[in-house]
Structure 1
C-alpha cells in the first residue's frame, strides 16, 4: 500500500538528512550514515549507492546497507542496463513494485529476496554522479513523498560523490606525477642539468613532461613533450608515451627514428591526443646534440660571451596527426664548453593576449650561459609563470667547462 506522511513527519525526515553534523563526516562515513538514515526513515530493508565510472560508463557499487555483498564483489552495471542502469540513463526516479529477473542484472538482489525497488539519480549540476536505490523484502508501492525524500538524500550523496571522485582523481594524478617526472635528475659526466615543472591545473598535473636517460652507447637522451589537455586523463596518456619513447630510444640510432616509431604508436593507440615532443641525443663527448622535433618549439642555445638564440632545427608535424608524407628529420646543434641548451614547453612563452614571438624574444633575453639551476630559476621567475594557465616544463643542460 502507498504510505502518506503528515507535515511533522516530513519535517523530521528533512532534518534527518540535512543535519549539520553530516558535513563533518568524511565521504565514506557520510555515505554510510545517509544510507542508515534513509533505511530508518523510509522503513526499507536495503539501500545502496552506485557511483558512475565516467570512463567505462558503468555504475560501481560504492556503499550499501543490506546489500553489502555487492560492494565487496565490486559489482558494476553499464548505464542503460538493469534497474540502476535505467535510472542513470533516464535520470528520472524509477519505481518497481514487483521486481522480476528481467528488471535487474544484479543477482544479489534476487538472492536477498528484494520484492520492490525505488531508485533516483544522483546528480551534481549537469553531471550524473550515480544512482541511489532502496528496496523492501515485502511488496510496496513507493509514494511521491518517498521519492522526494530519496531525491533529497541523493542531493547530499551527490556532493559527497563529487568530492570523493575529485579526491581519487587528485590522488591518482599526484601518484602518477611522482612516478613519471624525475624527482632527481641523474648525475651525468660532462654536463649539469636542472628542471622545473609547474602545473596549470588544480589537479597538480597535466600532459607536459621531461625525461633524461643515458643510453648503452654513452649518448645522453633528453626529452621534453606536451600532451594536450590537463588533469589525470592527459597525465595517463603522457605516461604511456614517455614509456614508449624510452623503449624506442634503446633500439634506435637517431631521434628521428625513435619519434617515427612513437608517431605510429600514438596514431594507433592514442588517437585524438595532440602531442608534441622534442628528443635530443647528446654525444658522449657532450659537444654535439642531434635533435628531432615533432611539432615542438625549438630549444634555446646560449654560448659564453654571446646572446642566446633559438636553434635552427627542422620541425616536423606533431605526433599522431596523420600519415607521414616524408621521413622525420634530425638537426645538429654544437654545444661548446660552458654552453647551455634550454628545452621548454609552450606554457613558458605563450600568452592569450600576445603573439608567441613576444614570449620567445623575452625568453632569449633571460637565458645566458650560466649554471643550469640559475637558468631554470631565472626563466621561471621572470617569464611570467608564477600563476600559469597552462602547464610549464623547463629542462636546462649545461656542458662543463
Structure 2
C-alpha cells in the first residue's frame, strides 16, 4: 500500500497474465498466481531459486534452445535497459513431481527491466503467455491436427531463422564495435601534464554495440593558457568515429591560433559544413588563462561544463550557449562568456551520456553531477573522474558513449 491507497501486491497477484519478478542474478523474487498456474509449480518451488535450476532445457532433446534463448534475452535486457519481446519459443517443462517426464510447451515471453529510484536495475519482469494449445491445436480433428503441425513447423522454422539472423547481426555489430573502439583509441589524445596542473580524461563506450565513437575530448596547451574541449557527433559506429576524428583535429588546430573559444567554434562550424555527418554536432570549448585565473567559454548546443569552487559551490557554465554545428543556415558569430576561478577549483567537461537518462529531466542529471563533484572535490583529478563514472553511470550500463575531462585548477 502506498499513498494512493492501492495495494500493488494484490494487483500483481490478480494480474491475468503470468508474471514473474527476477533479481539481476536471475533468481525468482516473486511470482503471481497466473504464473504458478501456467508453470505447474508452487511458490516454494520457485521463489528464491535460480531460474534455470527450476526450468532447465529438456535433456532428452539435443536440439533444445529455450534456456539459451531466454538467457540471451534476459542478459540483453540487463545490458541495454530496454524491453525484449521474444519470438515464440519451444521450452519443454518437466513434470513438477520430478518424474523425468517432459511436456512439450510453447511460450511467448516478454522481458522488461524494472528500475530502482537511482536508475540502477532492480528487477527483471518476465511475462509469459503459453501458446501450446494454439500450436498443437489439441482436441481438434485429424485435419486440424495436420494444419496445426504445419503451423507449428513453420513457426518453429521461422523462429530458428530469425534467431540465426539476429545472431549474425550481433556478431557483425560486435566486430564493427571493436574496429570503432580501436579507431577511437587512436584518435583521442593522451593527456599531458599542464604545468603544475593535471587533467584526467575518461572514455566509456555505450553498452549497446553500435552506440559508440561519436564523442571526443581535446586539450591544447598554449603559452599561459590551456584550451580544453569536448564534443558529440550525432550518430554511432564507424561513420561517427570518422567524423569525430575530423572534427576533433579541426578544433584542435583552431584552438592553437584562435583568440578565444567562440572563434575556435566558429572555425569548426564552417569546417563542419564540408563534412558529411557533422550536422548537429555539439561541442563546448573552454580557454583557461592560468595567469589571470579566468575561464572563457563558448558552447555549440552542448551540456554546460561544471566549475566546482573549493567551498563546494558549483557553477554551470551556461551563459554562452548557441545552436549545434550546422544548425544555422548562415554563419553568425558565436557568444563567449568569462568567469573567474580560484586555486583548488575543479573544472569538469563531459558529454551527455554522463547525465542524460530516458524519460528524465536534464536538471536531475545535472544535480547528480553537482552532488558527486562536491563530495569528491578534494580528490585528485583521476579520483574525481573515477568517482563521477562510478556514481553517475547506471549499474545496467549506458546507451550512449561518454567522454569526460576533469582538471584540477
TM-score (norm 1): 0.56
Indicate how the Cα distance of structure 1 residues 194 and 339 shifts in structure 2: closer, same or farther if over 3 A, else same. same
**Which of 264, 268, 272 is the aligned partner of 2:274?**
268
Matches within 5 A, 1:199-218: 199-200=205-206, 201-203=208-210, 205-215=212-222, 217-218=223-224
Does the alignment pair 1:392 with 2:402? yes
Does the alignment pair 1:375 with 2:381? no
- Give the distance between the partners of 1:296 and 1:159, measured in 2 at CA: 35
Shift of 1:384: 3.3
DSSP 3-state at the match of 2:194: coil
Does the alignment pair 1:223 with 2:229? yes
Q: Deviations over 1:6-29 (max 9, x none)?
A: xxxxxxxxxxxxxxxxxxxxxxxx
- Give the distance between the partners of 1:160 and 1:280, measured in 2 at CA: 44
Q: Which deviates further from its counterpart, 198-207 or 217-226?
A: 198-207
Partners of 1:263 and 1:320 within 8 A in 2: yes
DSSP 3-state at the match of 1:245: helix
**Which of 153, 174, 179 is the aligned partner of 2:186?**
179
- Give the distance between the partners of 1:351 and 1:207, measured in 2 at CA: 17
- Give the distance between the partners of 1:169 and 1:282, measured in 2 at CA: 37
Shift of 1:161: 8.4
Partners of 2:350 and 2:404 within 8 A in 1: yes
Partners of 1:173 and 1:204 within 8 A in 2: no
Shift of 1:285: 2.5
Give structure 1 stretches of 5+ with no counterpart: 1-154
Alignment root-mean-square deviation, CA: 2.8
Please list every run of at least 4 consecutive aligned residues from structure 1 whose deviation after the TM superposition is greater than 3 angstroms.
Answer: 157-168
Q: Which has the larger radius of gyration?
A: 1
Indicate how the Cα distance of structure 1 residues 286 and 211 shifts in structure 2: closer, same or farther if over 3 A, else same. farther
- Give the distance between the partners of 1:228 and 1:344, measured in 2 at CA: 15
Shift of 1:167: 6.3
Indicate how the Cα distance of structure 1 residues 162 and 381 shifts in structure 2: closer, same or farther if over 3 A, else same. closer
Give structure 2 stretches of 5+ with no counterpart: 1-161
- Give the distance between the partners of 1:312 and 1:228, measured in 2 at CA: 21
- Give the distance between the partners of 2:178 and 2:196, measured in 1 at CA: 38
Indicate how the Cα distance of structure 1 residues 163 and 318 shifts in structure 2: closer, same or farther if over 3 A, else same. closer
DSSP 3-state at the match of 1:169: helix
Aligned length: 245
Shift of 1:163: 8.0
Shift of 1:355: 0.9
Q: Deviations over 1:23-53 (max 9, x none)?
A: xxxxxxxxxxxxxxxxxxxxxxxxxxxxxxx
Shift of 1:214: 1.1
- Give the distance between the partners of 2:176 and 2:232, measured in 1 at CA: 20
- Give the distance between the partners of 2:384 and 2:292, measured in 1 at CA: 19
Shift of 1:291: 0.9
